[in-house]
Structure 1
């Protein structure tokens, strides 16, 4: 009896649960036991592409216990409302909560409380059976929310497939299609055990060889991995390139404002699609400034302000964890033409990587003016060193050492608010001594509030002359028109 004719996309599936090419994770049975146990909360964590959701669906299908299972994801606003209802009313049933890490901190805490209750009374009555799915460390995060549930919760981390699991996946698909992919072992070297990517690569190999369904006669299929890689990347371009460009250009585009571009390019060179930005900044000094000047607030604001970016990128500002959760997007980014992307974004090349676009130097009497300038520039996606914003960062350190770094080399421009007080005060004088040598390369922009003369600052230097009157109800509007717009024009050069 001949084998049934199967379509290529049914065999090597890139969407949904693989029917013919599913391979269980090494800890599949341990996960099954915990999912099967009534009431016991279960947490599955791991990077995207490891098959967490597919594993859960396969186990539940295998149980055949007739119990209804409701699948919910934090990416769907309707599902979030349903999760809130389940938590508040403690509805009995089996619930899979995917993308747990994307839920609000408050809702995560509420889920943790329900998980604790379910863990305590699971043998005493109907309680919600929670199966929580998220990226790395979601289990540890949940335990931190409710520490005493650690021993009552099944926490499992699904790792990428090993060479033998990937070989079994490919073999199963080839048998269904009646083919043999030559040099199949090289596919693991390309995918590093990513289940989704393995499915996609195999599908592309077959498609390039005109195998679109089960063939009648056994066929050997050869391929060139470079060609297959280009095919996959080109296939993904329409779906991902706009979002990648939006991310790289930042919240407000300027040709010199490229820290997001540098961050994403560096992420694309990592083995994992989930990175700790503190660790990355420390390990890669060439992009340390770019990462440091966006990881506190700007990156979070960018993702929140652009829906297309929020759909594809995740960032936790508290833990500094940045994630590309879609394995297809991560593969696309790893193999991008970054020079072409830089051109398409409209960036100009510049050699140095500054931690700040602007460092503000001012006397304390002009703090209100400096604070407004800092806030206005920050709202326009400009990185600003304003001392009040960084006091916590420098606790225990000497200001003199930090100011020497900031005003000497860590800032692209120094904007100094000059008046008689700046000339008389100790700290502003120290800052002036640090940034004075930079006047020669036009990286100091003075704002003159009066006619005070300063040693080392030429009288004919082109600056901004501004009359600051804090009693004027329109002073902020005047700052925008006479200072902020000029600074933005200069930063855009």
Structure 2
């Protein structure tokens, strides 16, 4: 008999088998999928559970094997998307990563959906999946689509849904994760981040498979976060610095690209309307507003293919989005004022979300955990870093600037 592996329970790629939780929008997806002819747009942040929900709904309805699935990320699929426009008798066609299509192709799809609705075609159903405001982008091309398609918006999942994922995983592995409530809050409604943090917590405590004897997993979430952040740094830091610096680093400038990145990091939906942000941060209007209005932001992103899988900018709606949930986790754990100074921006400061930083060596773990527990009991926010070659614990007050 094969032992159930931890990686099968808390999945960090693919559709969860043991820890799938129906998002709030699940029943509406099922109803919309089985309604003939009417187009569907499913939109929301990456990592929120859109694709998993669609796959599960298609399986539930017996439609998964007969649905043609296409992605704007794949060259061959792009050719197929062009090909199907105007056709009927296609059955159900799912177009994923819609936001990555060219404006010209988006407009063609908008007209196609309108035609399908006007002619009441029931043998062809187009399902579009994209990031926030994908439906709004379509309607910009064809305003009368608004009453002809179903737009299903995936919002941030409630904490109860995220907690359900962790509880299902605990039951399957015969464990209890003592930092479960902290993981729920740190996930910010993302099913993916909940799975990832639970996976990393179990891995840190050397739990690799289901245990016969019930086991408590005593691991500080802050320690796990710092461990994950340090592992992600080689993967993401160079690209992050490249974007934040902009096309030409001006150390005495207003750092518009850095501010855009910081704004989206603080967004619960991992997506911002730059116009909305400029209404809040009016002192950045001349700098950020200029790089958007004059097309510098789009030109900069087009010139850097390494940005493609991490960022998305729609110049029609001025929506800027982070696409990779692991990347948003990385960004949220950057010390932003220190990062700005590392780039050379000596006058840029950001407010901290931490009250103290706790730095310790692996040998000091027990003492560090005791200090951490006492500080958190007093509702203080702690930044934790592990330094294997460092021989003593130290606490640095950092409650003013980050």
Q: TM-score, normalised by structure 2?
A: 0.80
Partner residue in 1 for 2:299: 301
State how far apart, in whole Å, the 2-side matches of 1:52 and 1:184 are.
23
Q: Indicate yes or no: 2:244 matched with 1:232.
A: no
- Quote the offset at 1:43 in angstroms: 0.9
Q: Secondary structure, in 3 states, of the residue corresponding to 1:39?
A: coil
Partner residue in 2 for 1:468: none
State how far apart, in whole Å, the 2-side matches of 1:196 and 1:319 are.
27
State how far apart, in whole Å, the 2-side matches of 1:66 and 1:73 are.
16
Q: Secondary structure, in 3 states, of the residue corresponding to 1:110?
A: helix
Q: Secondary structure, in 3 states, of the residue corresponding to 2:42?
A: strand
Contact 2:19 2:168 in 1 (8 A): yes
State how far apart, in whole Å, the 1-side matches of 2:148 and 2:326 are.
35
Distance 1:34 1:295, change over 3 A: same
- Quote the offset at 1:77 in angstroms: 2.6
State how far apart, in whole Å, the 2-side matches of 1:238 and 1:78 are.
31
Aligned pairs for 1:91-170 (under 5 A) are: 92-122=90-120, 126-127=123-124, 129-170=125-166
Picking from 208, 213, 218, the partner of 1:217 is: 213
Aligned pairs for 1:461-480 (under 5 A) are: none
Q: Indicate yes or no: 2:276 matched with 1:276.
A: no
**How well do the aligned residues superpose, as a CA RMSD in angstroms?**
2.3
Picking from 160, 172, 179, the partner of 2:175 is: 179
Q: Secondary structure, in 3 states, of the residue corresponding to 2:68?
A: strand
Instruction: Using the TM superposition, name which of 301-310 and 219-228 deviates more.
Output: 219-228
Distance 1:16 1:215, change over 3 A: same
Picking from 73, 76, 88, the partner of 1:75 is: 73
- Quote the offset at 1:67 in angstroms: 4.8
Paired residue total: 347
Q: Secondary structure, in 3 states, of the residue corresponding to 1:323?
A: strand
- Quote the offset at 1:170 in angstroms: 0.6
Q: TM-score, normalised by structure 1?
A: 0.66
State how far apart, in whole Å, the 2-side matches of 1:30 and 1:316 are.
27
Contact 1:246 1:309 in 2 (8 A): no
State how far apart, in whole Å, the 2-side matches of 1:252 and 1:81 are.
36
- Quote the offset at 1:313 in angstroms: 1.0
State how far apart, in whole Å, the 1-side matches of 2:270 and 2:55 are.
24
Aligned pairs for 1:320-339 (under 5 A) are: 320-339=318-337
* Cα-to-partner distance string for 1:210-251 (whole Å, 9 max, x where unaligned): 111111211011221211211222232233222212212222
Partner residue in 2 for 1:265: 262
Q: Secondary structure, in 3 states, of the residue corresponding to 1:315?
A: strand
State how far apart, in whole Å, the 2-side matches of 1:84 and 1:238 are.
38
- Quote the offset at 1:301 in angstroms: 0.8
State how far apart, in whole Å, the 1-side matches of 2:269 and 2:176 are.
30
Picking from 28, 42, 45, the partner of 1:44 is: 42
Picking from 185, 189, 193, the partner of 1:189 is: 185
Contact 2:88 2:121 in 1 (8 A): no
- Quote the offset at 1:130 in angstroms: 0.9
* Cα-to-partner distance string for 1:270-297 (whole Å, 9 max, x where unaligned): 3331111122122124544432232221
Q: Secondary structure, in 3 states, of the residue corresponding to 1:192?
A: coil
Higher relative contact order, structure no. (Cα contacts within 8 Å, ≥ 6 residues apart): 2
Contact 1:244 1:309 in 2 (8 A): no
Contact 1:260 1:290 in 2 (8 A): no
Contact 1:160 1:195 in 2 (8 A): no
Q: Indicate yes or no: 2:229 matched with 1:201.
A: no
Aligned pairs for 1:12-27 (under 5 A) are: 12-27=10-25
Distance 1:313 1:220, change over 3 A: same
Distance 1:222 1:122, change over 3 A: farther
- Quote the offset at 1:186 in angstroms: 2.2
Greater Rg over alpha carbons, structure: 1
Instruction: Using the TM superposition, name which of 5-14 and 111-120 deviates more.
Output: 111-120
- Quote the offset at 1:90 in angstroms: 4.8
